[in-house]
Amino acid sequence: MTIAFFGLKQEPFRLTPDPRFLHLAEPHRNGLRSMLEGVSARKGLQVSVGPIGTGKTTLLYCLQHILRHESAPGSEVRSAFIVNPVLQQNELYETLLDELEISCATATKPAQLRAFHGLLLDTHRMGGGVVIIIDEAHLLPPELLEEIRLLLNLDNYAVNVLQVILCGQPELMQVLRRPECAALRARVAVITKLRPLTLVESRAYVAERLHIAGLRGENPFTTSALEQIYRHSNGVPRTINLICDRAMTCASQRETYRIDPEIVAEAVEDLMLLDATPEISPAAAHQLVDVVAPKRTP
């Protein structure tokens, strides 16, 4: 009903990650560029962090899409995307082998490691690369972090064939500062950070999603409505999506095309966000502390 009322082809503010709706505001543009450059330069281990709802998973799906479909001929990149890192050791290897489409005769760890090392060897011969992307990495238990470090040890070629990207909430930085993670932390070569959007970026974000969804007329959100959405969302894309989606529903029920602050207030009240939204400003998000990664010793 809402889609038809506004003359759209699809829902513009769905919460599911969709690379088609990726809005490359400054933090996302810089983050994607840094990750791509890190893979291209064979940096090895990368870390990416950002507050809840800032678009980390969507960015990772976009990265994987680029790696799969836009790699240069003769240097293809195979990738594995782990979205749920709460795994047992054997489950980690089973997931990696499945994602990378590697056959293994038995489910024993030695056999799995031989199969994985064989992939690295074949990929090295062809001049390609292997990228392991782990989302929600702040949930990784210590034993899996150690397994990741040991996997990186398998890559003993002149250039890094294996790339690992750990992505998660800012707590991931604290996880990597634990004493038992010192050896893994020493391998971190690239750090990227996402932050909430500014007001200007939020306006552009809403407009672009509407355009991708098929809007060809005037933006239904008034300037004052967008300002109110920003105040309630603090620039967090996921919260912007929630408010905008509900506001469009409210507007269609009223049979009015213009979405003003009154409709936004109704949407926020429906979503019970007035007291639930944490106050995270873009300035505060910039205070995320970097992991100090010493250079890797040859």
CATH code assigned at 52: 3.40.50.300
Higher per-residue pLDDT: 69 or 126: 126
User: pLDDT tens, 20-31?
Assistant: 888 889 999 999
Give yes or no for residue 188 having a pLDDT over 70: yes
Residue 225 is assigned to a structural domain of this protein: yes
Contact 225, 259 (CB under 8 A): yes
Task: Identify the band that residue 291 occupies on the pLDDT scale cut at 50, 70 and 90.
Answer: very low
In this structure, the answer to whether residues 185 and 159 fall within a common structural domain is: yes
Report yes or no: 44 and 296 within 8 Å, Cβ to Cβ. yes
pLDDT at 153 over 90: no
Same domain, 245 and 146: no
The answer to whether residues 208 and 164 belong to one domain is: no
CA dist., res. 220 & res. 171, Å (int): 38
| Judgement on whether residues 262 and 134 belong to the same structural domain of the protein | no
Instruction: Encode pLDDT of 158-171 as tens digits.
Output: 678 899 999 999 99
Question: Same structural domain for residues 184 and 258?
Answer: no
Tell me which residue of 215, 210, 214 sits closest to 226, measured CA to CA: 210
In a domain, 288, yes or no: no
- Residue 202 buriedness (CB in 10 A; 0-12 / 13-18 / 19+): buried
80-89, 105-114, 123-132, 273-282: the lowest-pLDDT one: 273-282
Co-location of 205 and 186 in the same domain: no
Q: Is the pLDDT of residue 15 over 70?
A: yes
Question: Is pLDDT above 90 for 254?
Answer: yes
Residue 178 DSSP one-character state = S
Please state which of the ranges 106-110, 179-183, 257-261 shows the lowest mean pLDDT. Answer: 106-110
Checking if the pLDDT of 71 tops 80, the result is no
Per-residue model confidence (pLDDT) at position 72:
65
Q: Residue 115: is its pLDDT beyond 60?
A: yes
For residues 131 and 267, membership in a common domain is answered with no
Contacts of 78 (CB under 8 A, 6+ apart): 100, 119, 123, 128, 129, 130, 131
**Residue 150 shares a structural domain with residue 265:** no
Residue 33 lies in a domain: yes
End-to-end Cα distance, the chain: 61
Same domain, 62 and 177: yes
Give the separation between CA 279 and CA 232, rounded to whole angstroms: 9
* Average of per-residue pLDDT across 213-218: 92
Place of tokens 């505060």: 284
pLDDT band at residue 95 using 50, 70 and 90 as cut-offs: very high
Residue 193: strand, helix, or coil: strand
Strands 45-49 and 77-82 come out as unpaired
Average pLDDT of the segment spanning 12-22: 85
Residue 239: which CATH number?
Answer: 1.10.8.60
Last residue of a domain, one of 171, 193, 215: 193
- Binned at pLDDT 50, 70 and 90, residue 201 comes out as very high
Percent of the chain with pLDDT over 70: 89
In a domain, 85, yes or no: yes
291 by Cβ neighbours in 10 Å (0-12 / 13-18 / 19+) ranks as: middle
- What pLDDT band is residue 232 in, cutting at 50, 70 and 90? very high
In a domain, 284, yes or no: no
CA distances from 30 to 48, 135, 178, 252, 254 (A): 11, 18, 28, 37, 40
Final residue belonging to a domain, choices 193, 228, 261: 193
Report the share of the chain in percent with pLDDT over 90.
62
Residue 22 has a pLDDT of: 82
pLDDT of residue 68 exceeding 90, the answer is: no
- Listed range (140-149, 151-160, 210-219) with the worst mean pLDDT: 151-160
pLDDT at 273: 57
How many domains does the chain divide into?
2
Which spans in 70-165 are helix H?
A: 89-99, 109-125, 142-154
The arrangement of strands across the sheet holding 77-82 comes to: 77-82, 129-134, 162-168, 45-49, 188-193
Q: What is the pLDDT of residue 74?
A: 60
Domain that holds residue 74: 26-193
Which of 166, 193, 220 terminates a domain? The answer is 193
**Residues 48 and 187 grouped into a single domain:** yes
**What's the Cα-to-Cα distance from 93 to each of 147, 149, 154, rounded to whole Å?**
10, 13, 14
Statement to judge: residues 32 and 175 lie in one domain: yes
Q: Which helix (H) or strand (E) is 164 found in, with range?
A: strand 162-168
The average confidence (pLDDT) of the chain is: 87
Query: Which pLDDT score, from 0 to 100, does residue 32 have?
Result: 94
Residues 159 and 234 in one domain: no
166 has which bridge partners? 47, 134
